[in-house]
Structure 1
């Protein structure tokens, strides 16, 4: 299906996604989104009552694919749970080497909306990050790791911290270093919880 064959709402969200991720939500006007989607501004406002609603739709579109990608990277990782956790960071580092990589859309949007904690996009971003944390917690719990919920939170902090630092320095090696730290944390939890290292 070509972009012209997509439903109008989907075309608008896809255009917004390209522009918002590439340039930032404040830098992109509704006019620019309408032009890229090939619709009038009036048509855009028929589908979205405001730019804020469009920003929320942009993040919602990214939620499930992001979580599915993380789960796939984890599942495809070789070795035990510590190795698989590190594999997530290594795959992210590979992604960060692409010229089109602009960091985490959820963190970038939250930085732009930091003075608007009630914004729908802030709530979507917080829920998305919590989904990552909960998934890690459930995965670690299933593996019998000690303090699975705390460990999941620590891994998410390493993940989000590496997003920020890599975006700042443009050096994916920071993400790989965060992966090594996650590997060490998970390995230590494995020893504590099960009595042997992974």
Structure 2
């Protein structure tokens, strides 16, 4: 794809990112995305065969930056329990921002749960697996006996905290998840 074509495609994905995250997938039309991106619908369809195709690309584009942000929140210093406590503390602070609307991957999966094979569900599964892999590697480095199970439990705590914060608009769920993570990890060291 020529450089200008790649720039245009990235503009469309950036517009979709903003609109989908703030309003939801079903609430945003192709017309709104094209307008926000400053392109015609014809240009939109030149780059994406459908809105569903764009939704998959939007989530793919969020994957790596989200995992990198999570890693930065946890940091690399201290025990895994310390790192997860730090992670949940950052989640609590981040969730209080006016533009925070939870996890785009969970929201997409919820909106499209009945559409098996949708690109968004594939992107969400891939993202969650990447997060779980990061957690597993971190837990494994510390020598926990069942890193995979502990990583899954931490993933449940992360997604549960995000969901509860979104529903109740109360960051204390992140604090509670951090407490549960510390308890789980300290138990795993026995």
Q: TM-score scaled by structure 1? A: 0.91
SS in 1 for 2:75: helix
User: Displacement of 1:10 after TM fit?
Assistant: 0.6
Q: 1:17-56 counterparts in 2 under 5 A?
A: 17-56=17-56
Distance in 1 between residues matched to 2:79 and 2:141, nearest whole Å: 13
Match of 1:99 in 2: 98
Runs of 4+ in 1 over 6 A off after TM superposition: none
Residue 78 of structure 2 aligns to a residue in which SS?
A: coil
Distance, in Å, in 2 between the alignment partners of 1:47 and 1:19 is 18
* Cα drift, residue 80 of structure 1: 1.8
1:14 aligns with 2:7: no
Shift of 1:73: 1.6
Displacement after TM superposition at 1:98 (Å): 0.2
Q: Which residue of 2 aligns with 1:140?
A: 139
Structure 2 unaligned regions, length at least 5 = 1-5
How many Å apart are 1:101 and its aligned residue?
0.1
Question: 2:3 is matched with which residue?
Answer: none
TM-score (norm 2): 0.94
User: Pairwise CA RMSD of aligned residues?
Assistant: 1.3
Segments of 5+ residues of structure 1 without an aligned counterpart are 1-5, 193-198
Q: Which range moves more in the overlay, 111-120 or 18-27? A: 111-120
Deviations 1:37-60 (A, max 9, x none): 000000000000100000001101
1:36-115 superposed matches below 5 A: 36-75=36-75, 79-115=78-114
Kept in 1: contact 2:79–2:142 (CA 8 A): no
The corresponding residue for 1:3 is none
**How far apart, in 2, do the equivalents of 1:74 and 1:27 lie?**
34
The CA deviation at 1:187 is: 1.2
8 Å contact kept, 2:22–2:101: yes
Distance 2:26 2:169 in 1: 22
Q: Is the 8 A contact 2:67 2:131 kept in 1?
A: yes
